[in-house]
Structure 1
Amino acid sequence: MNHRSVLFIALAAMLLVAVSAWAHHNMSAIFDFNDRVTLSGTLTKVDWRNPHIELIVDAKSGNQVQTWSFEGPPPSFFRARDINKSDVESALGKTVTAEASRARDGSRSGLLRVMTLPDGKVVSACPQNC
């Protein structure tokens, strides 16, 4: 294999990695930032992991319970703002209020923007003002 072939393969591999990373972090392709939902419900699951935390909330809609999934930033984002896993896990089984940008696919999921814990503590999941 000559030098140009190796260089071409290396550049193609870097391009594939860059496109994959961009697609993963292009939240506007998955979530509609102009379509917000705010709901209160029981926090039933906290998945505190990288690359993004996930919260599951059961919210009443009329006589039915709807399960919503909210994706948030990584744990390090919250730790930098003095919010730790136990702060959020202490709300399990209790009522929280979540504001999120809805998923474009119409599912009951969203990108978490703000969450209010049962003790009234407001947790922002936005890097800047949202």
Structure 2
Amino acid sequence: MINMFVKNLFLSGILLLIYLPIGNGHHSVALQFDMTKDVTIVGSIVEMEWRNPHSWLHIEVANELGEPELWRVEFGSANALYRRGWRRDDLPVGLSVTIHGIPSRDGSRQIEGDEVLLSDGRSLFSGTGPGN
């Protein structure tokens, strides 16, 4: 009886360790971002991380004093963006983009991205944010 309890406890612990990192990658957008506001930033792409469960666009934006600041824009998974028509070639380093999205609640330079307007006039919709 005790052996079965210890075995079940051990297996439960192993399963928890396996699934804990997966659950940590998902969060409530409403907890991290202020859904009552929207923000638009313009800058140049520094890096695009095509990842699951979240992709990240890093852009350099000039602040009010004209000094460069690094902003991070969160999107859905690389798979979801691909299904919406996003391609790696659309976002090369150095490209000037305009981002619409939801600002972070903590005032950091982080946005939940809704739409990316490319310099050629095309728009990439992320499927998240206020437009959804």
Pair 1:19–1:79, CA change in 2 (3 A): same
Aligned residue number for residue 40 of structure 1: 42
- Closer, same or farther in 2 for the Cα pair 1:94/1:88, shift >3 Å? closer
Alignment of 1:81-120 (within 5 A): 81-89=84-92, 92-120=93-121
1:112 maps to amino acid: G
In structure 2, the residue matched to 1:72 is: 75
Deviation at 1:50, TM superposition (A): 3.2
Q: CA deviation at 1:86?
A: 0.9
Corresponding residue SS for 1:126: coil
Q: Which runs of 5+ in 2 are unaligned?
A: none
1:9 match: secondary structure: helix
Task: Output the CA distance in 1 between the equivalents of 2:97 and 2:88.
Answer: 15
Once the two structures are superposed, residues 26-49 of structure 1 have per-residue CA deviations (whole angstroms, 9 ceiling, x without a partner) of: 133332322321111122222223
Unaligned runs of 5+ in 1: none
Aligned-CA RMSD value: 2.5
| Alpha-carbon distance in structure 1 between the residues aligned to 2:36 and 2:10 | 41
Distance in 1 between residues matched to 2:82 and 2:6, nearest whole Å = 45
Identity %: 23
Q: 10-19 or 59-68, which moves further after superposition? A: 10-19
1:12, distance to aligned residue in structure 2 (A): 4.2
Q: TM-score, normalised by structure 1?
A: 0.78
- Cα deviation per residue 1:24-81 (whole Å; 9 max; x = unaligned)? 3113333232232111112222222333221111222333232211121221112112
TM-score by length of 2: 0.77
What is the CA distance between 1:120 and its match in structure 2? 1.4
Classify the secondary structure of the residue corresponding to 1:26. Answer: coil
- SS, match of residue 56 in structure 1: strand
Tell me the CA shift for residue 16 of structure 1. 5.6
The change in CA–CA distance for 1:67 and 1:87 in structure 2 (over 3 A counts) is same
Kindly indicate whether the alpha-carbon contact (under 8 Å) linking 2:55 and 2:77 is maintained by their aligned counterparts in 1: yes
Relative distance call for 1:47 and 1:15 in structure 2 (3 A) is: closer
The number of residues matched between the two structures is 128
